[in-house]
Amino acid sequence: MGRRTHAVPAAAAAALLLAFLHLHVAAAADPPFSCGAASAAPYCDRKLPIEQRAADLVSKLSLEEKISQLGDESPAVARLGVPAYKWWSEALHGVAWSKGMHLDGPLRAATSFPQVILTAASFNPHLWYRIGQVIGTEARGVYNNGQAEGLTFWAPNINVFRDPRWGRGQETPGEDPTMTGKYAAVFVRGVQGYGMSGAINSSDLEASACCKHFTAYDLENWKGVTRFAFDAKVTEQDLADTYNPPFKSCVEDGGASGIMCSYNRVNGVPTCADHNLLSKTARGDWSFNGYITSDCDAVAIIHDVQGYAKAPEDAVADVLKAGMDVNCGGYIQTHGVSAYQQGKITGEDIDRALRNLFAIRMRLGLFNGNPKYNRYGNIGADQVCKKEHQDLALQAAQDGIVLLKNDAGALPLSKSKVSSVAVIGPNGNNASLLLGNYFGPPCISVTPFQALQWYVKDATFVQGCNAAVCNVSNIGEAVHAASGADYVVLFMGLDQNQEREEVDRLELGLPGMQESLVNKVADAAKKPVILVLLCGGPVDVTFAKNNPKIGAIVWAGYPGQAGGIAIAQVLFGEHNPGGRLPVTWYPKEFTAVPMTDMRMRADPSTGYPGRTYRFYKGKTVYNFGYGLSYSKYSHRFASKGTKPPSMRGIEGLKATASAAGTVSYDVDEMGAEACDRLRFPAVVRVQNHGPMDGRHPVLLFLRWPNATDGRPASQLIGFQSVHLRADEAAHVEFEVSPCKHFSRAAEDGRKVIDQGSHFVKVGDDEFELSFMA
């Protein structure tokens, strides 16, 4: 892209979104399907229940054919008219390259949204839902264009971002289980073609979403401990209030049709071989209706790495009897027949898995004749990379960007007053770095430097480092460019060589010589510099936070295809930043805590500080929920609920006392009717005092008077995003459910409500509610 003046950057952005529309609408081929017009088999009869249809099809398969269907690449059964199917497709933040999706035909791109951690920073469930909708639509568009062999997508990743060093934390909505669960539910609903709330039509899927990785998975490779061999020691209390709630919400609230069990063991048992986890909890307690896949080669690992199974056939038996349905990999396809012949699995073990698998394909409409003539058949190639989708990608990047520091109004920059700008840093002029991981080819490709050229005619780029690792630098050239420019914007942070699947970090600071580069450039610049951080996981930038020569710090995550445009718009005040951090930013010293320690709660007797804002007792660089704006906002409770909820009149309710003397009530014993009676509204008045219009997240927290009995220090119980014009005020209503929001997990995992005071808090305002018998 050539240099351009800054006169009409918004118009230029809109033109670019159209100019880079990489699509050709000619269909490559008909999509694969079963049950053409001539078929009269019961499994093709759309009037029959799907469960009956799936059972009929399974009954017609031979043993060898059945076993062949239990891998992620399921071959065709030509004699029954069943096409091949590939279970593994990816759509973490847009339809991506994968086994089941082929973006190498007439369609060669799909909308690439920001990496999830940045989208989460918007605290906007409606945005998350709309992103899911776009992904489901574009997935079906690719399929209908004959460029796909599956519609089962292994997203979202809803493991809690427990440790800041985790390489895949970027894929998640952050560290809070309530927020992560909400993201899971609305994203899944969007992908699968459901409404954002309300009833679910589980027999008609636009695409299938899969909640991963179940459960307590958040370590890749730390000091020689790998995810394949790791045995996560997790208490019942931590499972109940941190690790499992996002999956519960994904299933119960989102209606997810897929679950992926993880590589790791939990308390000695591989998750894919854990009947209690897969069958009792997911299918039993949560009424999960769908299929369960292993992570890739996880079944082989149970025998080959973990030694949990003594023979390959034992590994096959362990997972099928636990409730897993399909193996990502070929291990069951290789050893399934011999496992059956040795009596380690039964025909019903196999058939149960197959019924679940074929039911999903039928719910996707792939056994209803040509999908082009069914419910989602009108979704064509013209729906992929369409302008409305690309506009949403831009909005997601804008709304997620977090302003961390803004001394003396260093931002926004004035388009009329910036005569020249030096753009410095390894992340400033490489569009691929904006995408994070699990990405597909984006519809457009614009670097931050290219976007800034729309605003400043005299723009210079100096890389400064060889890459984010920054073990080779040219600080002298960067200093020279900075000293000659009117303004300096540094693009630093991490990249996928520093954090990704199979790669955890060992340090929390900026890699290599980045800190030295930033400081020397800041010293040489005429005015305080602007530091933009591109990274998924948090970095300790205390040095920049405290340096007066660094006027502003902006965190932009991995902002996707439109990220360069969004960053430029925020820097020049065309968008008012409103994002809030979805994770705690810890100091470098946190690396002394073993990544393998899964405990959430602090242990003062050993100096263990705990994890996440809910339990961490230590210094932070930036807190969960932190973020600045170009506007000033105020919050206060306009309504503080009705009279304090009372436990009186709840039949059979018994109070118990903990060892610390805390009196509490078991939520399960209270029952749904009693819990409904306790609900009350909390209304928040929020005002934008200007000077700019903006979108603002309103976060509602609960705190207890003390953190005894393993209580969190505070807990997010609700959040909404509201757009306000300058000087506008609005009322935001939250429905507070004490059984859900005021309960805590006891040591045995039971949910209990403590007798006594609870404080509901928004901003600096709070009110007290007291539960008494």
Which of the residues are catalytic? 295
Tokens of 182: 């909400």
Computed from CA positions of residues 610, 611, 615, 617, in that sequence, does the dihedral angle turn out positive or negative?
positive
E strand intervals along 571-632? none
Tokens of residue 432, six digits: 């691929």
Helix (H, G, I), strand (E, B) or coil at 234: coil
Angle (CA) 136 299 150, round 5°: 25
Which residue in this structure is represented by tokens 């190639």? 381
What 3-state class would DSSP assign to 77? strand
Pairing label, strands 85-86, 729-736: unpaired
Q: How far apart are CA 513 and CA 465, in angstroms?
A: 8
Neighbours of 223 (CB within 10 A): 9
Phi-psi region at 323: left, alpha or beta (left = phi > 0; alpha = psi -120 to 50): left
State the CB neighbour count (10 A cutoff) for residue 409. 9
Kindly report whether the peptide bond that precedes residue 426 is cis, defined as omega within 30 degrees of 0.
no
Judge residue 308's burial from the number of C-beta atoms within 10 Å of its C-beta, 0-12 exposed, 13-18 middle, 19 or more buried.
middle
DSSP H/E element including 723:
strand 714-724
Tokens of 258: 């897929």
Q: Is the sign of the CA dihedral 472, 474, 478, 479 positive or negative? A: positive
Please, where are the H alpha helices in 409-490? 448-453, 475-484
Of 277, 271, 282, 279, the C-alpha closest to 231 is 271
**CA-to-CA distance for 561 and 565, rounded, in angstroms?**
9
Q: How far is CA 194 from CA 186, 374, 386, 553, in A?
A: 9, 17, 21, 39
CA 65 vs CA 34, 123, 181: distances in Å: 16, 47, 38
What's the N-to-C CA distance of the chain in angstroms?
Answer: 70
Q: Give me 403's structure tokens.
A: 């302003």
- List of residues 6+ apart from 69 with CB closer than 8 A: 61, 75, 77, 354, 357
**Cβ-Cβ contacts under 8 Å for 114 (sequence gap 6 or more):** 93, 393, 396, 397, 400, 436, 557, 558, 559, 560, 563
Q: Is 491 in a helix, a strand, or coil?
A: strand
What residues contact residue 174 under an 8 Å CB cut-off, 6+ apart? 117, 120, 121, 160, 161, 180, 582, 583, 624
User: Where does residue 398 rank: exposed (0-12), middle (13-18), buried (19+ CB within 10 A)?
Assistant: buried
Tell me, what amino acid is at 153?
A: F
* Amino acid at residue number 641: G
DSSP 565-582: HHHHHHHTTSS------S
The DSSP element (H or E) to which 356 belongs, if any, is helix 347-363
Distance CA 735, CA 725 (A): 25
Q: Whole-angstrom Cα distance, residue 27 to residue 377?
A: 13
Alpha helix positions (H), 495-578? 514-524, 542-545, 563-571
Eight-class DSSP state of 343: T
